[in-house]
Amino acid sequence: MQLRARLENIKQSINSLGIEQIGFLILGTILAILIRVSLLDFKSVDYDAATKVWYNTIQRLGYTALRGDYSTYNPPYLYVLYLVVRFLPNMAKVAAIKVPSIIADFICAGFVYKIIRLKSESRMQALLGYIATLLAPVVILNSAFWGQADSIFTAGIVACIYFLLVKRNWLAFISFSAALIFKLQAVFLLPLLIILLLRKEVSWKHFLVIPVVYFIGILPSWLLGRPLPSLLMIYFSQADQYHRLTMHAPSLYAWFPNEPTLFPLLYPAGLAFAATVILIFVLVAVKSRAKLTPGLLVELATVTMFIVPFVLPEMHQRYFFPADILLIVFGFYFPVYFYIPLVINMVSFFSYQYFLFGPETFPMDQLALVTLFMIAIMIRKLVQDLFPAKFAGQQVYDNTMPDSD
């Protein structure tokens, strides 16, 4: 009955669209699909060194491969690869591996549409956000070209924010937990959830979902024979995999010497600094008595996913991917800042160049400087919105889109 009701809601939503909107939706979706199909044959270094090996192992051993420890990823990603092997056995490996990420692109875009729709009375605004997400160069590069899994866990992050906005907190924490069982980087959203807890917007009981979903995620692999300690240590092993302050990320550490010999000295200091910045961010947000409007929640979520990978050491350039998606939402909520998602998406696009094509297009320290400048603008705006009484004399042009409430 619930599925039938959802299908009926989707049907009503489609029927409510005008001819121009339906045409825009269809053409934009087709274009997004065609672009992705044209890029499926590209084989990255990560494909040859990792995902192809995992795929071959699953193809050879079947479901029994799910008990092995040959992958650096958490088992749920291997379950997804198993489903691909099972249901798309004749598809080229490089294309098959990219299918889950491409599907996740559309899920991300769907939730972007829903979040923008909460703010805007115009369906066309939300459709523009949907198409902007699918056609963003960094989104296309990450999934269809590179074959990374970042859009999979990001779909859970964006879904979490949507459910927080509509006050469905249990679904929000399930979505967050689903993101976390795919990639550890979902934990970047944790400061926002702590802020909401301290502001009494969510209950501590909601956090109990996280270990439950995580255990469910590793349960099949454990039942098939993989030792539980091995499953519980996967993310700790990932954290100890690289010993570089930055893996070509446009972060704070682009301005530091990236030498392995200095890593043991600078890494602990970097962690301490990042923890301090995040703690200050949480305390400032909690101290505010401003009403948690949908716009303020979108701001807090976006800044959280933006600032955490900027101040943490040992970050890859792809770890800004959730921020790239959320910045698109931010740009539609606050159109006067439309340039921020455009600039940051291009920063991410250029930061991908080294891993995909070899030479740098722009030096990473310059891209980090641009990132810092955009973060400063966003933090200034966020502080104004958290403490409006202190900035009452300043005119802010953020409410340029009508509320549907």
C-alpha Rg value of the chain to the nearest Å: 21
pLDDT at residue 400, rounded to an integer: 43
Q: Does residue 333 have a pLDDT over 90?
A: yes
Tokens of 12: 């009503």
pLDDT at residue 404, rounded to an integer: 36
CB of 281 within 8 A of CB of 341?
no
Cα 191 to the chain's mean position, in Å?
15
Q: What is the rounded average pLDDT of the residues 352-371?
A: 88
Buried b (16+ CB within 10 A) or exposed e, 261-291: eebeebbeebeeebeebbeebbeebeebeee
CB of 405 within 8 A of CB of 326?
no
CB of 249 within 8 A of CB of 91?
no
Tokens of 115: 């979040």
Please state, in angstroms and rounded to a whole number, the distance separating the CA atoms of residues 139 and 150: 9
> pLDDT band at 263, cuts 50/70/90?
confident
> pLDDT band at 182, cuts 50/70/90?
very high
Tokens of 209: 């979902």
The DSSP bridge partners found for residue 316 are 247
Q: What is the rounded average pLDDT of the residues 277-287?
A: 97
Axis-axis angle for helices 364-386, 339-351 (nearest 10): 150
Please state, in angstroms and rounded to a whole number, the distance separating the CA atoms of residues 365 and 215: 40
Q: Does residue 305 have a pLDDT over 90?
A: yes
Please state, in angstroms and rounded to a whole number, the distance separating the CA atoms of residues 155 and 162: 11
pLDDT at residue 72, rounded to an integer: 87
Tokens of 134: 């699918």
Q: One-letter amino acid identity for 53?
A: V
pLDDT at residue 1, rounded to an integer: 53
Could you identify the residue written with the tokens 């704070």? 252
Percent of the chain with pLDDT over 70: 92
pLDDT at residue 238, rounded to an integer: 73
Tokens of 307: 């600032």
> pLDDT band at 357, cuts 50/70/90?
confident
Please state, in angstroms and rounded to a whole number, the distance separating the CA atoms of residues 260 and 180: 29
**Model confidence, pTM:** 0.91
Q: Does residue 250 have a pLDDT over 70?
A: yes
Least confident residue range of 14-28, 153-167, 275-289, 360-374: 14-28
Q: What is the rounded average pLDDT of the residues 300-313?
A: 97
pLDDT at residue 13, rounded to an integer: 60
As to burial, measured by CB atoms within 10 angstroms (0-12 exposed, 13-18 middle, 19+ buried), residue 7 is exposed
> pLDDT band at 7, cuts 50/70/90?
low
Tokens of 212: 């439950």
pLDDT at residue 15, rounded to an integer: 57
> pLDDT band at 12, cuts 50/70/90?
low
pLDDT at residue 52, rounded to an integer: 94
Task: Look at residue 161 and give its three-state secondary structure.
Answer: helix
Tokens of 271: 């962690």
Task: Look at residue 403 and give its three-state secondary structure.
Answer: coil
Please state, in angstroms and rounded to a whole number, the distance separating the CA atoms of residues 156 and 145: 21
The residue with greater pLDDT, 263 or 383, is: 383
Please state, in angstroms and rounded to a whole number, the distance separating the CA atoms of residues 244 and 314: 6
The residue with greater pLDDT, 258 or 296, is: 296
Q: What is the rounded average pLDDT of the residues 57-78?
A: 92
Q: What is the mean pLDDT of the chain?
A: 90
Q: What is the rounded average pLDDT of the residues 157-168?
A: 98
Length of the chain: 405
Please state, in angstroms and rounded to a whole number, the distance separating the CA atoms of residues 197 and 200: 5
> Quick one: the chain helix, strand, coil %, rounded to 5?
75, 0, 25
- Cα dihedral sign for 111, 116, 118, 122? negative
Residue 149 phi/psi, 5-degree rounding, is -100, 15
Report which of 109, 154, 74, 107 is spatially closest to residue 320, judged by C-alpha positions: 154
pLDDT at residue 257, rounded to an integer: 85
Least confident residue range of 151-165, 190-204, 232-246: 232-246
Please state, in angstroms and rounded to a whole number, the distance separating the CA atoms of residues 262 and 246: 12
For 15-64, how does the pLDDT look when each residue is reduced to its tens digit (9 = 90+)?
Answer: 566 787 888 889 999 999 999 999 999 999 899 999 999 999 999 999 99
Please state, in angstroms and rounded to a whole number, the distance separating the CA atoms of residues 128 and 139: 15
Does an H or E element contain 246, and which?
strand 246-247
Report which of 105, 176, 194 is spatially closest to residue 146, judged by C-alpha positions: 105
Task: Look at residue 315 and give its three-state secondary structure.
Answer: strand
The DSSP bridge partners found for residue 247 are 316
Q: Does residue 231 have a pLDDT over 80?
A: yes
> pLDDT band at 402, cuts 50/70/90?
very low
Angle at 72 between CA 66 and CA 74, to 5 degrees: 55
Least confident residue range of 21-30, 180-189, 389-398: 389-398
Tokens of 72: 């650096």
